Amino acid sequence: MTAPVEFTLGGRLRRLKFTIVEIKALEGRLGKPVGDVFGDLAKLSITGLQHVLWAALRHEDRKLRFDDVEMLIQGHIDGGGSLSEFLYAINDAAVASGLFGRAAGTESEPTTTPA
């Protein structure tokens, strides 16, 4: 597993990371597959963002409440941050986790046999 993606949120350095446990919880909360959840982020769904960020932060704080994440998002925006910063960090964490694409340094050689 690769290292979590660091992101400053609520005046504190946070580590965004997706595990299978968090993804399953996310799918259960939203009643749709993870691909659809991330598709909603492309449409700038604030509810989707809140759910995905909750899932990405749970590994470091199991007591984190869903409503706490809303306050973190609002605080970030009030402090001059943007939604795109969240989207980039979430995307990086999803790729690093192996959810979408490949994490850096994990490329493998082709498995084809020469003719």
Is the pLDDT at 109 greater than 70, yes or no?
Answer: no
Residue 40 domain flag = yes
Average pLDDT, the chain: 84
Residue 107 domain flag = no
Q: Which domain holds residue 68?
A: 5-96
Residue 71 domain flag = yes
Residue 115 domain flag = no
How many structural domains is the chain composed of? 1
CB 54 within 8 A of CB 66: yes
CB 36 within 8 A of CB 43: no
Structure tokens that stand for 91 in this block: 């995307």
Residue 21 domain flag = yes
Is the pLDDT at 98 greater than 60, yes or no?
Answer: yes
Closest listed residue to residue 91, CA positions, set 30, 49, 60: 49
Residue 102 domain flag = no
Is the pLDDT at 73 greater than 70, yes or no?
Answer: yes
Is the pLDDT at 79 greater than 90, yes or no?
Answer: yes
Residue 87 domain flag = yes
Structure tokens that stand for 21 in this block: 């446990």
Give the rounded percent of residues in the chain with a pLDDT score beyond 90.
51
CB 14 within 8 A of CB 6: yes
* Model pLDDT, residue 81: 92
The amino acid at 20: I
pLDDT in tens, 11-63: 899 999 998 988 999 999 999 998 898 888 888 788 989 999 999 999 888 89
DSSP annotation of 4? P
6 SS3 class = strand
Whole-number Å distance between alpha carbons of 40 and 16: 19
pTM over 0.75: yes
